[in-house]
Amino acid sequence: MRQDQIHEAIRILKREVRQWQEPVVGVIARTSARDPFRILISCLLSLRTKDKTTSEASARLFALAYTPEGLLNLPRRTIERVIYPVGFYRTKAKAIHAICRRLLEVYGGTVPDSIDELITLPGVGRKTANLVVTVGYNKPGICVDIHVHRISNRWGYVKTGKPEETEQALRHKLPKRHWIIFNDLLVPYGQNICQPVSPFCSRCKLAGLCDRVGVVRSR
């Protein structure tokens, strides 16, 4: 995909993703008035976990508490119980307590709005930090998960080996006006069309723009 084609690709994606379910963190952002804390915690829960499981676990947890003070006052066993069966639920329950404690001790209970500060929180990497910044604070950032990494490379738009490298490559190449929405577009497209193995190239409206890098077999 050439640099001058990215705008057309974004236009097509905006139209196509309307047919699929909105990613869970986006739903939580919309229903919580873009509360950065709930976005942060739900994003943590979503790691290595399917959207449906994340949505249900987040709802159970936030029914009990949805502030750093409230969650810190919950016993860790209670958090483990209500977020199960999200992946690594015990580790995440421990991280939730640690995050809440640090937010209260260092930031007065407010979620910071910079990536550099967010990644100092326990269990928070650049993917989560970018999502909080973009979805919670509507500030520029590029959230790169496995779908964004795979599709950006499959297009031939970037040539990188790791998601962290993809984020930096996109920061240099992707027009800034597309940063915030990029993850929201590529995640559902990656889940439904541009899948890891044997993608649905015959149904892909971006086929004419895609270099199909690494695609051995398709449907």
Please identify every residue annotated as catalytic.
Answer: 127, 145
Cα distances (Å, whole numbers) of residue 133 to 79, 116, 161, 190, 218:
25, 11, 24, 22, 35
* Secondary-structure percent of the chain, ordered helix, strand, coil, rounded to 5: 65, 0, 35
Closest among 210, 166, 159 to 13, alpha carbons compared: 210
Cα distances (Å, whole numbers) of residue 22 to 26, 70, 76:
7, 28, 30
Helix (H) or strand (E) holding 9: helix 6-16
Report DSSP state, residue 178: G
Instruction: Give just the sign of the alpha carbon dihedral 71, 72, 73, 76.
Output: positive
